[in-house]
Structure 1
Amino acid sequence: MKRSFKSLISFFSESWAELKKVRWPNRKELTNYTLVVLGTIVVVAVYFWVLDIGISAVIEAII
């Protein structure tokens, strides 16, 4: 039990040390990244929507 408790403390200590090394984005970067992600989601959603309409039209033509 004592060993696992030390391992747990060591894990959180090392995790905290790694988090201190992370370069977090500032507000402007975060806004830009968010807009890129949202734009990508919209493009992919439209792509699959058009693809779905196309496949539905082909299936309707076959049936």
Structure 2
Amino acid sequence: MQVSDAEVMLDDTLNFAKRAQEAGVRTTVTVEPHGFHIYHYFLPEAPETLAAIGEIGSFLRAHG
């Protein structure tokens, strides 16, 4: 999961990840500092976005 530290859904994301982990689901959470909701969409060329998309690609290659 990816979320920013300024995200309105930060607590929900962290709680969801915790519950998934407690249920035995392999879960990773990346918290992007100084971001905002769906920063991937609004800042497609930003280094943070490119890193996040790379992380998604790595996950899909490993688990897809």
TM-score higher than 0.5: no
Compare relative contact order (CA 8 Å, sep 6+) and give the higher one, 1 or 2. Answer: 2
TM-score, normalised with respect to structure 2: 0.29
TM-score, normalised with respect to structure 1: 0.29
Query: Which structure dedicates a bigger proportion of its chain to helix?
Result: 1
| Greater Rg over alpha carbons, structure | 1
Query: Which structure dedicates a bigger proportion of its chain to strand?
Result: 2
